[in-house]
Every structure is written in structure tokens, then in C-alpha cells.
């Protein structure tokens, strides 16, 4: 079971780059790494997903080393509106199909 | 337009009563999920389902029940056996593949008094 570990909280200032690292030592061959963002009293929202190396979209970049035992979500030039909880997931393919298991997430606080 | 809908947004019930939370999706997704979130905590998986008429227990299934009679619908019943039912409940759906994206509803905040 690929459990994920992330920092509980991080602080940053507007305009800075933020990197949130997630450990998933027991990731399996067919697992993908996915990141979600959640604002208070809302459902999580998909940010980015990857399998290996680097993935980039209009919101973030995801860096995955060759051994895939960790991943880093990179948010360029954060703003106040990026204050949220960020979850790292390893999508497990169990005998019954996907089982999306969320950890405790990382609370990112962005200040002026 | 397509999406996943939870209703109601707020729900109040008396202790000892069963209550059913609705979740409907028109995304043609095979998989559906129910999560519970307590203040300041992460999401905990209650039940999930990959196909009609089949579902699996998550990490905290005790005191809850679900059904999946239609692909579009995955209602959650919070029974009187659930010791601490007051929480924020989130429903999600996704395709059944490795590189899947889960779509979440807006949640139902259940308060038991």
C-alpha cells in the first residue's frame, strides 16, 4: 500500500515559487502520482498528474525522479489565492479497481 | 452541463435518525467515492464503487451504507450506528484507469443535534 507523506504546512509570500514534496516509498509500477488542491468548504480540485520525469501545465509543474519514490509539486509565483490544502495521491489499482486514498495534505499559506 | 452534484448542501438531523445524502453524476464515470472530512483534517474514504451493484468498504465504513443501483447515482446513508456523524461529506467520481482525474461535488455539511 503506497502511503504518502507530505509536510503538514508551508508558508510563502506572493511572487515566490513554492515546492511541496511528497514521499511515496512503496509506489507500485502501475501507480500514477496525482495532486489536488482544496479550498475551505469545497471539494478538492485536480491540479496535475504524472508517471515519471516532469509534467507541466498552466498551473503547476510536477517533478518525479527516476526511482519514483517521491514527487515535487512546483507552484510558480504564488498569489494569495493559492492559499489552500494540497494533497498528493498515489492512484492505487487494487483488485477492485481504483481506490483514491487521500493523506492529510499540506496547508499552504501565502502572505503579502 | 456535465458534473457531479451533491444535495443538499446543508443537512440537520436529530440524533438517532438515519439520513441519506445524494450524489449524482452525468460524466459517465464508472467509479464513485464517498469521503468524510472533519475540521482541519484530510479526506477519509468511506465507500467506493467501480460498477453498478458493486461497492467496496473504505477506511471508515462502519455506521454507513451505500447503494449503486444506477451508474449515475451513489447515495450514502448515515445510520444511527455512526457515533460521530457530524462532518463534511464529499462525493467524487472518476474513470477507471491509471491516469484518472477525480471530480468532486461541492459537499454536504451534515450536523446532527
B1 pLDDT exceeds 60?
no
Whether residues B48 and A100 touch (CB distance < 8 A) is answered with yes
Neighbours of A58 (CB within 10 A): 5
User: Is residue B42 within 8 angstroms of chain A, CB to CB?
Assistant: yes
The more confident residue out of A33 and B73 is B73
* A contacts of B97 (beta carbons < 8 Å): 98
Give contacts of A39 with chain B, Cβ < 8 Å. Answer: none
Q: Where does residue A42 rank: exposed (0-12), middle (13-18), buried (19+ CB within 10 A)?
A: middle
Q: Cell digits for B81?
A: 450506528
Q: Which three cell numbers stand for residue A29?
A: 509500477
The per-residue pLDDT for A90 is 86
Nearest by CB to residue B99, choosing from A44, A49, A97, is: A49
- pLDDT above 80: residue A39: yes
Average pLDDT over every residue of B61-65: 97
* Residues A72-107 pLDDT 10s: 999 999 999 999 999 999 876 555 556 788 888 999
CA distance B73 to B67: 8
Contact A96 B109 (CB under 8 A): no
Amino acid at each position: 500500500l503506497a502511503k504518502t507523506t507530505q509536510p503538514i504546512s508551508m508558508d510563502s509570500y506572493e511572487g515566490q515559487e513554492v515546492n511541496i514534496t511528497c514521499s511515496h516509498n512503496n509506489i507500485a509500477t502501475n501507480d500514477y502520482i496525482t495532486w489536488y488542491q482544496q479550498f475551505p468548504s469545497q471539494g478538492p480540485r485536480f491540479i496535475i498528474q504524472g508517471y515519471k520525469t516532469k509534467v507541466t501545465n498552466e498551473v503547476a509543474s510536477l517533478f518525479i525522479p527516476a526511482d519514483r519514490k517521491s514527487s515535487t509539486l512546483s507552484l510558480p509565483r504564488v498569489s494569495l489565492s493559492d492559499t489552500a490544502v494540497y494533497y498528493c495521491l498515489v492512484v492505487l489499482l487494487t483488485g477492485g479497481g481504483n481506490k483514491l486514498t487521500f493523506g492529510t495534505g499540506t496547508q499552504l499559506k501565502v502572505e503579502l | 452541463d456535465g458534473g457531479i452534484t451533491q444535495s443538499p448542501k446543508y443537512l440537520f438531523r436529530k440524533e438517532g435518525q438515519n439520513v441519506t445524502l445524494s450524489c449524482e453524476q452525468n460524466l459517465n464515470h464508472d467509479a464513485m467515492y464517498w469521503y468524510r472530512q472533519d475540521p482541519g483534517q484530510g479526506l477519509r474514504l468511506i465507500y467506493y464503487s467501480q460498477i453498478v451493484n458493486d461497492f467496496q468498504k473504505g477506511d471508515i465504513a462502519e455506521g454507513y451504507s451505500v447503494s449503486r443501483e444506477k451508474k449515475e447515482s451513489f447515495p450514502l446513508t448515515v445510520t444511527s450506528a455512526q457515533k460521530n456523524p457530524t462532518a463534511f461529506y464529499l462525493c467524487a467520481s472518476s474513470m477507471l484507469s491509471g491516469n484518472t482525474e477525480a471530480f468532486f461535488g461541492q459537499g454536504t455539511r451534515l450536523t446532527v443535534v
